Homo-oligomer: A and B are copies of this chain.
């Protein structure tokens, strides 16, 4: 059909999340039509990122510097460390701008189904940081894993692990999403929101 180069490109694009075979073909056509404004820059950006981007040796964030920009930022306190499952979650929290401390990326959730045990995740590095391996005086660990079964299993594991270390352990509040309608919420969220109700100020 199309040339071997195009077929190969489409096959690789179709492996990206969110792109099926049809949208991969559309993407390939768009790329070929915008050879100079999109295709060549994207090839260069991929090669550049593949060469430079590494996991931060402290927190596991992805950046071209090690330690990453967040860990190296003197305005961000090492006293508060937010534990997340994945770098995508770190990015989401950073977009909110609500956390002024640092992060710790576990690299996944505990999952018996997927065969992911404690040795596969960066728990040892987390204990090390709490004990001062990177000169941080960690006072609070905010566990911000997903509110799924695996995420909550992992959260409990982190809490048990850090309990003897004498550090404060907190987790994100459950409740009604801002802008959310009660009618569309599941029972579990409604129950959690009701139980965690707060006095009107």
Contact = CB atoms under 8 A, between A and B. Distances in A.
A95 B1 contact: yes
Nearest to A87: B29
Contact of A6 (B16, B28, B49): B49
A194 interface: no
A163 interface: no
Main secondary structure of the interface of A (DSSP, over half): helix
A49 to B, nearest CB: 5
Interface of A: 1-6, 8-9, 12-13, 15-19, 23, 25-32, 35, 38-50, 52-53, 61-65, 68-69, 86-88, 91, 94-95
A65 B1 contact: no
Given A1-B94, A29-B62, 6 more contacts: A2-B63, A3-B68, A12-B41, A18-B23, A28-B49, A39-B50
